[in-house]
Amino acid sequence: MGHIIPEAVKLLVAEGLITGVQLDPLSKAVFCESCMFAKSTWKPFPKERMRECVKAYSEEIHSDLWGPGPVETLG
């Protein structure tokens, strides 16, 4: 189920939307370090440039880095 919050799972089980799962009503949620990092804060981009505009091609480069991503084949 990925990193769904425990309260959501309890609600889904209680409402009968998930079957075949038995939860201990006295159990407490376990701390998940991955969730902590995924929800960490980030600094927003400044509203104004902090320095002069570039004067030549490739003086400044902006890019998004992501990967490797999963590849699905159709077939």
Does any domain span residue 48? no
Give CA–CA dist 22/13, Å, rounded. Answer: 8
Does residue 61 form part of some domain?
Answer: no
User: Which parts of the chain have pLDDT scores under 70?
Assistant: 1-3, 39-42, 75
pLDDT tens column, 4-17: 788 888 889 889 99
Q: Give domain status of residue 9, yes or no.
A: yes
**DSSP sequence for 25-64:** TT--PPP-HHHHHHT---PPPPSS-SSPPP-STTSS----
Cα torsion 29, 35, 37, 43: sign: negative
User: 51 lies in a domain?
Assistant: no
Number of compact structural domains in the chain:
1
Range of the domain at 13: 1-17+29-39
Is residue 72 assigned to a domain? no
The model scores a pTM over 0.75: no
What does the buried/exposed string (b/e) look like for 22-37 if buried means 16 or more CB atoms within 10 Å of the residue's CB?
eeeeeeeeeeeeeeee
Question: Does residue 4 lie within any of the structural domains?
Answer: yes
